[in-house]
Amino acid sequence: MTNPIKTDYLLVGAGAMGMAFADTLVAETDATITIVDRHARPGGHWNIAYPFVTLHQPSSFYGVASRELSAGRIDETGFNKGLADLATLPEIQGYYEAVMRDTLLPTGRVTYLSSHDYQGSETQGVGKVMNTRSGKVSEVAFDTLVDATYWQNAVPANHTPSFTIGEGVNFMPCGNIAALEKPPAGYVIIGGGKTGIDALLWLLEQGADPDQLTWIISRDGWMHDRAATQPRPEFFKKTMGVQAAAFEAMANATDRDDMYDRLESCGYFVRLDPTVRPKMFHAPTISRAELEALRTIKNVVRLGRVSHISETEIILAEGNIPTSPDHVHVDCSASAVQNKNTTAVFKNVRITLQTVRAYQPTFSASFIAHLEGLGGSDMDKNSRAGVVPLPDTLDDFVRMQAANMMNQAIWSQDKALQRWIRANRLDGFSGLIRSADMDDPEVVDILTRLRNNAMPAAMKLQSFLL
């Protein structure tokens, strides 16, 4: 075995969070970083994502702090018409290639080991990595290990379904529908999350008849209206007005169900079917045009989870439905994040990347890198990097919002940290607030409502956790 590579930080994972962490650490410190990733290119799960995927939040919120991803346009066609652009898969893949090639590597302080698998540490401060092409094992001597893979992403291409599939069933992962050359008897989309939504919307855009589509949803979920997440100044009143109304909804709610009703009434939440009460929240963002398109699909199956698919029948927890060998069964059931447990971000010589702000993984990674650059004890850094847990159940939404608002309150007491947040392009809404026209009474009213209801909302959320 050759002499070990020596580095300040061994960063495992060149996905979205890993790249955002590396970008900020390189920009704000003189540290050296060795980045290890099993893919041949940076970008993590984007390397194997389905071909028609796009971001579901505006591109301005995504990527690394030093380089804009958004094209700066308002979409003029499609389901996102009238809203800020959503980066496509080729745009995202090219973006991360450019960040690595043009930003990180030219510093001379970044070593990038693509197609390498991290095999762990045998001794303190020394890790082993294996080249997956040659099988060669190398050692990396490091001061700090950064785990950017803790919340493991799953995509349809590498997902193993939780149900069994009989012989003769036409079954495929989500991305394969783009390669079909002739129409099947029908499409059965299994999964009610973002992947299932993406598959259905793509099929509808491609001209599929809604009556050809069967959508199996084990649990309905609350979704965000994308129009209320826009970072551009012309959307200030909509975006910040809904946020102010959401704080009021939380502050005035009598119980959790009442809170969800109020959040829907004010435009913070939307749901697929007004007659079906959602039972989960995975934080998808959707446009009104997309929502109306999904509502044209009438064959929506709500009989629990799939347990088995045969040539003639789909068996679910609460009943069975017919199918045929001529139907295409599309697996969209993978959960985007496999591990939703939390742990301390800073612990001894290990940094575990997790979200410290709701809905914003790349901002969170950049923020954690900034804290690391500032130095201080693990206790001090963790006090400003409380983990905001990823949501699944409706109770998880309360936990997520409570943790998010706690962090915001702590950060607001640190003027230097506030300046850094406002200057970070991934923050998004700070720039929106700076653009506000303070001579407009409606704008002033929105900001006043935000300020006056933030603390009552946080206190109400805490009471719901008791």
> pLDDT tens digits for 357-401?
999 999 999 999 999 999 999 999 999 999 999 999 999 999 999
Q: What is the mean pLDDT of residues 258-287?
A: 96
Q: What is the DSSP string of 290-355?
A: HHHHHTT--EEE-S--EEEE-SSEEEETTEEEE--TTEEEEE----SBS------SEETTEEE---
Of 147-156, 256-265, 311-320, 403-412, which range is least confident? 147-156
Pairing of strands 319-322, 346-347: unpaired
Report the distance separating Cα 22 and Cα 18, nearest Å. Answer: 6
What is the average pLDDT score of the chain?
94
Name residue 144's beta-bridge partners: 9
Mean pLDDT, residues 130-156? 90
Give kind and range of the element (H or E) at residue 79: none
pLDDT of residue 340: 72
Domains present along the chain, CATH in parentheses: 5-153+337-405 (3.40.50.720), 156-222+271-331 (3.50.50.60), 234-268+436-466 (no CATH)
- What's the burial of 274, exposed, middle or buried (CB within 10 Å: 0-12/13-18/19+)? exposed
The pair of structure tokens assigned to 114 is: 């693509």
